[in-house]
Every structure is written in C-alpha cells, then in structure tokens.
Chains A and B, each alone.
Chain A
Amino acid sequence: MQPRGSILGTRVQRVEDPQLLTRGGVYTDDLVDDALASAVHVSFVRSPIAHARITSIDLTALRAAPGFVAAFTAEDLALPGARPMLATIDERFTRPILAAGTVRYVGEPVAIVVTEGYYQAEDVGELVDIEYDPLPPVVDPLAAGRDEVLLFPDVGTNTVCEFLPEHRDEQLFENCEVVVSSEIVNQRVAPAPLETRAAAASWGSDDRLTMWLPNQGAQTSQRALAALLGLDISRLRIVTPDVGGAFGAKFGADPEHAAVAWVARELARPARWSEQRYDNMLAMTHGRAQLQTVTIGGDRDGKLRAYRLDVVQDCGAYPAIGALLPSLTRMMAPGTYRFERVESAARCVVTNTTPIGAYRGAGRPEATAAVERAVDLFAAEIGMDPADVRRRNLLPAFAEPQENGSGALYDSGDYPAALELALSAAGYDDLRREQAERRERGDVRLLGIGLASYVEITGGGDEAGAPSENALIEVHPDGTATILTGTSPHGQGHATAWAMLASDELGIPIELITVRHGDTDLVPEGGGTGGSRSLQQGGAAVQQAARELADIARLRAADMLEANPDDLRIDRDRAAITVAGSPHVAVTLAELAGVERLFVRTVFTAPGATFPFGAHVAVVEVDTETGRPTLLRLISVDDAGVVLNPLLADGQRHGGLAQGAAQALFEEMVYDDDGNPLTATFADYAFPSAAELPMFQLETMETPTTYNPLGAKGLGEAGTIGSTPAVQNAVIDAVAHLGVRHIDMPTTSRRIWEAIQTATTNAEGRL
C-alpha cells in the first residue's frame, strides 16, 4: 500500500547506536556546561527507620568536615511538597520535600547535605545526627486497611481513596454452575534503570532556572517541578540529556529534584545530584504492588459468565501515581473476554514503604495478570484445557470500536486470531503431548505450558482531553532537516523512526535529519514518552508535519516556477518539487528554504486511546525435586497495528518480554515486618540476565487502527503485559496435576517446592 520505495515497514538500522556504542551517551551526570562550573554536590540523608518521629537533628558536627558547604532540614525549606494527584484525595496526604516531624519509609529524605565534592557527601552525611522515636510500622496493605496503625493520624485513616462500582451486584454469580475465587499478589517491583536519578540546576542572572534531569517528558517535568517549587513555568527551563532507562518511574519530577533546584538558589551556586544505586532502590518509586481477589464464574462446558476483581493498591507512604493505577486496572479488568457481567472495586492505602509509581504497563499488567490467572483457575476447576476455555470466551474479531463494559472503548482487535497464531507457533498440541509423556514417565523435570491473551490501553489522553502531540519540521538551505518532537526518547529509537517518517514524505535522506526533543525552550509543549504513546501520536504528528511542509513547498514552488500548484509534486528521489510531466523543471526543498525559512509546526490529535493486543505462550520446565523453574521458550504475538520499523519493534518486544518474565520468575522488592527493605542491592534484587532468558519467538500480526494515519498502536509495554501471566501460568501448569492451583509471583524454586509439598501432603491426607 505504501508507494514504491517507501522505507516504512523496513528494518532501518538505529541511527542512535553508533554514538551509544562508541563514545557513549551524555547522561545528566556526564554533562559539562559552563553554567554548571563549580557546582556543589547535593546528597540526601535518608531515614533508616520505616516509621518514627524525628525528635532532633543535630548538624553541628558537619561544619568542620572537609568539603562541607551547607546542610538543610525541613525547617529550612519553605516548599509546599507534592500534593496528591487526585483532587478527591485528602490534601493532608501531601508528601513533604524533606520529612517534617515524621518519617514514613526507609529511604525517605530527612536532611540535605551539600558538599564541594561528590565523594565527600557520604562522609559528611554520616555526621548528621538524627534522633528518632520509633513508631509501630505497617507494611502489609491489608493491615494498613484496618487503620490500627496510622501514617497520618490527622486524617484518621490509611485509606487514600476508593473506587467502587455504582452498586454492588449481589447476584453477580447467580446463574453460574462453577465459581472460583483466589487471592493473588501482584508484587512490588523496582524499576531499576541503569541510570539512577540525577539533576543539575543552574539559576541564571534573570532568576530563571535551567534544570537538566533524566525524564520521560521535559514539559511534564517542567509542570511538576514548577508546582513543587511554587514557580511559574516561564521561570523554568528543563533540558533532557540522554536517559538510561525510565520504565515509567522518570515521569514528572520527584521531591529530590525540587530540593536540588532549591539548594542552587539558596546558595546562589549551580548544584548537582546523582543518586547512588542503594538510594535508587529505596527512594525511586516502585511499581505494581496490588493485592487482588479474583472471582470468576461460568458453566461446566467452559462458558464464562461473570468476573469480579477486588484490588487493594499499596501506595507506599505517600499517594503518588500509585493511587491512579487501579483506575486503569479496573478499566481493563475483563481483558479480551466476553463476560455477561463484570464488577470491580479498588481501595488505595498508604503503608510504611517506598511510594508506588508507574512501571512499564502501569495498571494494565495487573489487570491482565488477574484475569489470565482467573481463567486458568476456572479451567483447572472444570478440567478443561485452558486454550479451549479461552477459545470459547474470547471476544470475536471486530473492526468497529466496541465498549468493554468497564469503561474502555476497544478500537479494533482480533483476539482469537492472535491466540491461534501463538498456539500454532508454539506447537501447542505437541507440547501438551510432551507434557503428558513426561508426567507418565514420572520425569523429575516436568513441562508447563502457560497462556495469556491480552489487550491493553495505549496513548490515552490526559485530563485536558483527546490525545495529541506536536511536531515541527524545518528544512534548511543546506538540504538538512530538523525535527522537533514533544515525545521524549530514552532508548526506544525515536530519532530513527521520526527521521524515517519525514524522509519518506520529503525524500531527505535519514542521515541528514536531526531529531531534537527535551528542551522546553525549544519545544514548549509535549506529552513525553510513556503509556506507549509516541509513535501513534508523536510519529503521526511528524508525518502530518512533513505532509503539510510538502504542501507549503508546492505553493512556494508554484510561485517560483510560475506553475499551477496542482501540477506540482514532490520528487522524493531529489527532495525537490517538480512539474508533472516535465521533471527537469524543479526546485529543491533546500533552495526553497534558502529563499524563506521552510518549516511547519503541527498538532496531531487522535480520536482516542488505542488497544493493542496479543497472546503469549510460555514453556517452562520445573525440577520437581528442587522446585527450580527454567523458562525454555516464550512465544509472543504482539499486535500493535502497522509496524513502522520491525527492528525497533522487536527491541521493544524483547525488553518487554524480559521484564515481564522477570516479574513472574525473579523480581520482588521485599520488606521485613519492620519495614526494612531486604532487596536494596543488585545482589539481592534478582533481575535476570541474558543467561536466564531463552531466545524469544516473535510472531507478526498487524491489525491496523483507524485512529491515526499510520495505523499504529503502542508497543512499548505490550511484551511486559502478556508475558507475566503466561510465565506464571506455565509454572503452575507444570505442577497442576499434583493439585497445585496457584503460586504467587515471583514463582521461586522455594515457593514451587513448597506448593508441591503442600499439594502432595493434601493428596495423601485425602487418601
């Protein structure tokens, strides 16, 4: 369908990589800039206790220490703090920049220490003498919900907000022959980006702040930081250097960022901050952290009728984005299935743990994990193959938008086709046969096959309305072009993708196109990169801008060539405007730009969010003697509409699959009962390496959306969403014949072994 020679849909190599692989990126901590000369170093003294009153802070011992510049506590800072993100939440849940009077989690910043040198910070910080009067901590969200220990006694409850159905349907499962219910933990995980948080701040003589920080959207960070500092956004310029991974946790601005800006102004010196790994594990927001109760009902022949999802969202010590996640979980509750009735409720509570934020998928993986577990539980209960239960109940293919009964409008989808493709690519029947043979032989190493069918929401709008993004393209007299985008690449490959789109329209070679982003002076508006929105909105805006630019070029060329604009077309081989039928009469875009600046800024607006979908199949081997699981295969169908560059898409899918499988098998941020984090180093926080992961088998399926001319939906989070339940289901499936119905994530050797022991003991007890 693309014109002949179009590069869209081809595996164009990433233009970003040569520099990243040779000289390396320039991250915030690497910046060399005159404005940052002789910057002081900011560090934070953090609470070692989960819940306590601060009785005294003594800073006298610091003053004589080498490199000491200044130290500050909450009393010094006259800043409002981070207000809850929902208007319905009590303002008293506001998070202070530095703990004032009470600390509520291990890692909460209590004091700021400023030193001349980076290495001195930790020595000086040790000299801060803080006395704490411990309070009883509450770590378990269910316990928090009982309000016996209160984090905010003034408010009188740990419940931050509740999302309830309009009326609870007591007859939800009335006509069901079988009803199964289970509690499921969607555990807390750490985003653990390679680049930790950082900032560099410099106030100009015009009393305007320039702040460099790794983020997912300079404009969003600008608004968030302005709110934290009580400044008008016009006094704040955000610049985004290279960003080494974000996964949702670098959206907006954190209290530490505000503190760095405040220090720079207070001391009238530029200030920098670069967080240590340990601090990052404690104080960057964590993700997920839901306790779910699923109840699913249907008939013995496999027909599903009703589904209920109850969520307790652990928000950590302060309600940040965590309090918003259950809305997305509820919206996506029914997933790809046709239930007669669906009901969901959620309650958000604070606990003495690190605040929860967005993490790859943010609210949607939790929904998929719940419903995919529920369907497997139902299949096990009625003794039916989980593939058949899914086949029986998936929504049929649709091309017109369709309500899901939980507040989402699915744009287009073909869930049965995705499932069948995944099953056949996996060789599902052969796998089941092998599984049966191993069981019959009494093999120690059993096979588990896990399925997940998913649909998720990408590119949603913000409160202001319909999802939109801007782009600006300018062609220069030397034949090069610049694209400005409001999206915020941090590894995805936008520079390649946006250059492809512009090149495809204008004929300017990719290597002559520069993509710029992340400087609010240069690009004042933008939605950043998150929620898998970039291509479908930012990419669509680039394409639209290129088309508009070609139109302007034709009009200008018409004047110059004294031709009718209707007779002119763009010649993509020469990046020129030519007269139809007489190709020798031409003017290049560069020539036009030489006469008058040639640029277009445009805004693309989509009618709504899109709903990519797919199916994953995981094959796991479980060693029944030790409990050890090994992921053997992961087959994925991720349909995100029309793919612009399969190389980039594969990269997004690989990363997503790895991260999703990691949640199922390895990762968990663990606290003890006193609120001490037990997994705050990379020796204890078990994210997998390449050695733990198989080659991924990626299958192609492209069902276009009509919501943008590219036909594209989001793909950045999809891999994470389907793979987690597929892998978890596979682990449980391996030992299901022993009577095991559920194992919480991460499905470690120990948990699997214990589940086998319990099931075997129960079976013996029944005999």
Chain B
Amino acid sequence: MIPAPFEYLRAHDVAHALDLLREHGDEAKLLAGGHSLLPMMKLRLARPTVLIDIAELADLDYVRVDGDTLAVGALATHARVGEAELVRAEAPLIAHSASLIGDPQVRHRGTIGGSLAHADPAADLPMAVLAAGATLVLEGPAGRREVDADDFFTGFFTTALEPDEILVEIRLPRRAGEPWGYEKFVRRSNDWAIVGVATVAGRVALANMGSAPLRAAETERALAAGAGIDAAAELAAENTDPVSDLHADPAYRRHLARVLVARALSSAPG
C-alpha cells in the first residue's frame, strides 16, 4: 500500500498544466483531490511516473451563475458543491449528490472534476450530472470544447477526455424549484452505491447498472408518454448490464433499480 516511485510536479495555472501534460504524455496523471487516484496508486493498480498536481489551481475552484446555467469549476470540492447556497438553490440534485459522497475527509479533498474524470460507474456525481443534463467543458492544446454528459461517459472508467485535455468546468441547467429525486442504496453510509438513482425533469440516471453511469431510457420514454410512476419504474432495468459482486448479482441489482427508481420518482412529484 505504498505507491511505486513517481515524480511530482505542481501546475500553477491551466496553461501550465496543459504544457506539463503535453511534455510528459502517457506517463503523467493529473492529481486533483487524490481520493481516487492515490488509493489506486497505493494498491499499485495505477503507476503513473509523473503526477501533475492541479489541486492549487484557484482559477478552477468556483461556483457561479452564467445566464441560464450554473457553472461549477472542476476543482470545486464535494464539500463546496454540497454546501454552496448557489448550488443548493439552482442545482439541488447535484448538491445533494455531493453531500452523500464518502465521509467529511473525502468530501473536503475530492473534487467534482476528479470524480467525473475518474468515471467510476458506482459513483454519485457522474450519475447526478447525467440526470441533470450537464455539459462538460474540456480544455486541450487546441482550446476548449463542450461535451454533453450523455457523451462524456464512454465505458468502464473511461470518458471522452483526451490524454492531453483537462476537464475545466461543469455547466448545469438552472433548475431552482424543480422536483428531483435521489436514491443511493448502500450498506454503510460512506460506501459507494450498490445501485443509485438520480432524477430531475423527466430524466432518470442510474449508477452501477452497467460499465458506465447510464440513463433509464425506457423509463423516461414511458414517463414522457404519460405512464404512471410504477409502470415507468418497472422498465428501469431495461438495457442495463449490471455487474455481479459481493453485494449483489445482476437479478438483485435490476430489482433494486426498479424499486429505487419508483422511490426517486415518487419523491419528485410533478
């Protein structure tokens, strides 16, 4: 549980971080809160030889209203996202999601950008931004580009990020007052979801029901067609491919998805 040797570099702004990324190529990894990367390095499941620390990039730590979106800097910590009045008012689903992550230590180090870039299919924020219909802003050598959350999570711990790109901002539709629902099925309060559900504005996203966070498309279609909650929730596990692990086999996960989607929808009337 001691990482393999690595070189440590600290970036002083986004441009510097991009330069360092280009210089060190595949050998390098960005280090934000370190709460996914460092555990993997300690188990020697990840062995970057260079770490580029971006945790001090103050220019990526913000929460602000930008027209009809709420812009969250990639380095905003889970604690900040969970507690900021602005997020709680304009994107309560996201604030709630962040506030359920791990424990206080994790929430004060881990960042929203790190969580999304890490793309753990069982994690909270990936599913939440998917339900929220977020747009992710990536910056690379050629400048900035925007990717819909729907296109960002491409598979098991993989995303649309190129190796020379940094996730800089998460743009959330402002949804003050809109009903939302969130269900995180865990054994212990600080665990990852065995199955998770996030829903807002007719969108329903699932965690740990496949290799990436995904939308419960059949449920959404049924809801749009005017189906009742129970009937729509019955379809929640369609087209999912959940894993089998210590906590659940696929059959139990599918069952949980149906129950939890019904609960999330019932807690989000409208």
Contact = CB atoms under 8 A, between A and B. Distances in A.
B24 interface: no
Contact of A753 (B103, B246, B252): B252
A175 interface: no
A626 interface: yes
B1 interface: yes
Contact of B188 (A119, A678, A692): A692
B5 interface: yes
A78 interface: no
11 contacts: A119-B2, A122-B2, A276-B1, A626-B185, A666-B187, A678-B246, A683-B192, A691-B189, A691-B190, A748-B247, A754-B252
Given A119-B2, A692-B189, A749-B187, A684 B255 contact: no
Contacts of B229: none
Contact of B246 (A118, A123, A684): A684
B188 A278 contact: no
B259 A123 contact: no
A462 interface: no
A688 B260 CA distance: 23
Most chain B CB atoms below 10 A, which of A118, A626, A683, A691: A626
Contact of B4 (A123, A689, A691, A692): A123
A748 B43 CA distance: 27
A198 to B, nearest CB: 15
A625 B259 contact: yes
Contacts of A119: 2
Nearest to B4: A123
A135 interface: no
A686 B188 contact: yes
Contacts of A14: none
Given A689-B190, A748-B247, A123 B252 contact: no
Interface in A116-162: 118-119, 121-123
Interface in A718-766: 748-750, 753-754
Interface of B: 1-2, 4-5, 39, 43-44, 103, 185, 187-192, 194, 246-249, 252, 255-256, 259-260
**6 smallest A-B Cβ distances: which pairs?**
A691-B189, A276-B1, A122-B2, A625-B259, A278-B1, A119-B2
Most chain A CB atoms below 10 A, which of B103, B189, B246, B248: B246
Contacts of B185: 626, 628, 749
A683 B260 CA distance: 23
A686 B255 contact: no
B256 A277 contact: no
Contact of A750 (B2, B5, B39, B248): B248
Nearest to A118: B2
A277 B1 contact: yes
Main secondary structure of the interface of A (DSSP, over half): loop
Interface in A167-226: none
Contacts of B189: 689, 691-692
Contacts of B44: 122
A686 B188 CA distance: 8
Given A123-B4, A276-B1, A689 B247 contact: no
A132 B255 CA distance: 43
Most chain A CB atoms below 10 A, which of B187, B189, B260: B187
A646 B259 CA distance: 46
A683 B5 CA distance: 24
Contacts of A123: 4-5
A278 B45 CA distance: 14
B256 to A, nearest CB: 6
Given A123-B4, A750-B248, A626 B259 contact: yes
Most chain B CB atoms below 10 A, which of A122, A276, A683, A750: A750
Given A626-B259, A749-B247, 9 more contacts: A118-B2, A119-B2, A123-B5, A277-B1, A684-B246, A686-B187, A686-B188, A748-B247, A753-B252
Given A123-B5, A748-B247, A688 B188 contact: yes
B8 to A, nearest CB: 14
Most chain A CB atoms below 10 A, which of B5, B191, B252: B252
Nearest to A627: B252
Contacts of A678: 246
A417 interface: no
A74 interface: no
Contacts of A683: 39, 191-192
B1 A626 contact: no
Interface in A680-700: 681, 683-684, 686, 688-689, 691-692
A679 interface: yes
Contacts of B255: 753
A226 B240 CA distance: 60
A175 B190 CA distance: 52
Contacts of B187: 666, 686, 748-749
Contacts of B194: 749
A670 interface: yes
Contacts of A681: 43
A668 to B, nearest CB: 9
A625 B260 CA distance: 9
Nearest to A690: B189
A37 B249 CA distance: 53
A278 B44 CA distance: 12
Contacts of A749: 185, 187, 194, 247
A748 B248 CA distance: 10
A754 B2 CA distance: 40
Given A123-B4, A670-B246, A750-B247, A689 B188 contact: yes
Contacts of B43: 278, 681
Contacts of A686: 187-188, 191
Contacts of A688: 188
A78 to B, nearest CB: 31
Contacts of B5: 123
A590 to B, nearest CB: 49
Contacts of B246: 670, 678-679, 684
A666 B189 CA distance: 12
A628 B191 CA distance: 14
Contacts of B39: 683
Nearest to B255: A753
A692 B191 CA distance: 11
A625 B249 CA distance: 16
Contacts of A692: 188-189
Contacts of B252: 750, 753-754
A684 B192 CA distance: 10
Contacts of A625: 259
A741 B191 CA distance: 30
B124 to A, nearest CB: 15
A644 to B, nearest CB: 35
Contacts of B248: 750
A754 B187 CA distance: 16
Given A122-B2, A625-B259, A753-B255, A691 B188 contact: yes
Interface string A612-632: 000000000000011010000
Nearest to A753: B252
A499 to B, nearest CB: 36
A362 to B, nearest CB: 26
Nearest to B2: A122
A304 to B, nearest CB: 36
A276 B247 contact: no
Contacts of A753: 252, 255
A671 to B, nearest CB: 11
A585 to B, nearest CB: 63
A449 to B, nearest CB: 22
A749 B191 CA distance: 14
A365 B246 CA distance: 25
Contacts of A666: 187-188
Most chain A CB atoms below 10 A, which of B4, B5, B188, B190: B188
A77 to B, nearest CB: 25
Contacts of A670: 246
Interface in A648-686: 666, 670, 678-679, 681, 683-684, 686
